[in-house]
Structure 1
Amino acid sequence: MDASSQMVERRDIGAQLALRRIPKQERSRERIDEILKVAMDLIGQKGIDAVTMKEIAGRSGGPIASVYQYFPNKTAIIATLYDRYIGQMRNMLAEGLSRIAGPSDISEASDMMVDLYTSFVRSHPPVQDLINAIQADKALADIDISEARQISEMFCQAAAPFVPENLREEFQRTAFVMCHLTVSMVRLAIKVPEREGAQIVSDFKASIHQQLKRFVVC
């Protein structure tokens, strides 16, 4: 995807994430934070489909109008929650990727990305429901794809000095696919018995290592 296409994609997704009303006062920002916290707690307890705007309003201590004041519908809440979650992930990954100083660090960085994501989802169960909702909603599905692309590009930029220039386009596609597959792998790993899940994660990381050998100049 070229730069102009990426800008259009991000602009379209930004429209999905836009608040109905931009908070300017601390009190308004606190109200939005409380709405989002309650929504995430309810998602963890009941699943996204069972959560209603009325329940979110009641549990967050205000009338339903106070929720609609900022969010036009539940889809907007889901999108905003996902945006906050992915922001956390990007920040954590950026710190790890900044340590790539040579070709031998790239496999370690890929392991770090997989382990970090697996640990994050295990310790935040509602996140998996959130991701499932994003993938199932036609209006939001592009968000998940775009974020996988963004994260894979972060990885590729850090690894680029050690990948031959003529292989970088293929490397980017491979990294994009592996980032997208990581989400499915973790979904499976956390549903099966713990020992089996750990082996699935280990096998997946080994398959990434094999892919990296095709590109990384040691």
Structure 2
Amino acid sequence: MQESSQGAGRAALRRVPKQERSRERIGEILKVAKELIGQKGIDAVTMKEIASLSGGPIASVYQYFPNKSAIIGMLYELYVDDVRELIAGNLARIETAEDALNATDNLFDIYYERMRQEPATQDLLNAIQADKVLADLDIAETRAQAEGFYQVTQHFVAENLRENYADTLFVMFHMAGATLRLALMVPDEAAQISAQFKSIVRTHATYFLTGKFPATV
């Protein structure tokens, strides 16, 4: 992405849609942009092409989005909304330390399967690293996800370990994203990469949640 986001997502909209027709127009623009990204990659997609395939003149795209980065930003926000819902659903089912351990595996597997099925999301998550505003937002979102997991599971952890536990969760959530991208880039090794990462996470999580490292064979 060569353009720099002055804002991101909804904050970058030139006009806030108030009528249903305007919201539908924005939805169609985003739908087409995501499809094109999945087919061609972000760098190859143009505003003109998005306008043409979404059924309107290019002015109708610029009416809402100042540049392509603003569209990418909103697609990222929609992705974040979906991920938050996914995490919330898993956190709501945690009642025991074992549930928390299983949740780390489940979340990773669901993330991976969704990204594997959606090439546009893969390209989107890779591209945000090239945009400082979006990259900063991604770090903040990762921190929030880790904090949410911490709040639900901290009572399983000894009080003297909780600060270290919170720090470790942030690192692990960040590493999960990088591991997912790596697994998708080398699909022939994806199973081994995923298994290795989940093993590392479970080892650390077991220590914090049960007070001991898992037994080795």
Q: Would the TM-score normalized by the shorter structure come out above 0.5? A: yes
- Equivalent in the alignment of 2:8: 16
**Aligned-partner SS, 1:22:** coil
Say if 1:125 and 1:175 are closer, same or farther in 2 by CA, change over 3 A: same
Task: Return structure 1 stretches of 4+ with deviation > 6 angstroms.
Answer: none
The answer to whether the 8 Å contact 2:7/2:133 transfers is no
Q: Distance in 2 between matches of 1:193 and 1:184?
A: 14
- Equivalent in the alignment of 2:49: 55
- So what's the TM-score if we normalise by structure 1? 0.89
- Equivalent in the alignment of 2:207: 214
Aligned to 2:194, which of 193, 201, 204? 201
Q: Distance in 2 between matches of 1:122 and 1:193?
A: 9
Shift of 1:166: 2.5
- Equivalent in the alignment of 2:28: 34
**Aligned-partner SS, 1:79:** helix
Aligned to 1:186, which of 180, 205, 208? 180
Q: Distance in 1 between matches of 2:56 and 2:33?
A: 13
The 10-residue stretch of structure 1 (130-139 or 24-33) with the greater mean CA deviation from structure 2: 130-139
Name the aligned partner's letter for residue 83 of structure 2. Answer: M
Shift of 1:87: 0.6
Q: Distance in 1 between matches of 2:165 and 2:47?
A: 43
Q: Deviations over 1:3-49 (max 9, x none)?
A: xxxxxxxxxx9942212111111100000000000000111111111
Shift of 1:141: 1.2
Gaps of 5+ in 1: 1-12
Q: Deviations over 1:79-120 (max 9, x none)?
A: 100000111111011111111101111110101111111011
Say if 1:76 and 1:28 are closer, same or farther in 2 by CA, change over 3 A: same
Gaps of 5+ in 2: 212-217
Shift of 1:59: 0.9
**Aligned-partner SS, 2:152:** helix
**Aligned-partner SS, 1:61:** coil
Q: Distance in 2 between matches of 1:206 and 1:47?
A: 32
Shift of 1:217: 3.4
- Equivalent in the alignment of 1:45: 39
- So what's the TM-score if we normalise by structure 2? 0.90
- Equivalent in the alignment of 2:214: none
Aligned to 2:167, which of 140, 154, 173? 173
Report matched runs for 1:64-213 at 5 Å.
64-194=58-188, 196-213=189-206
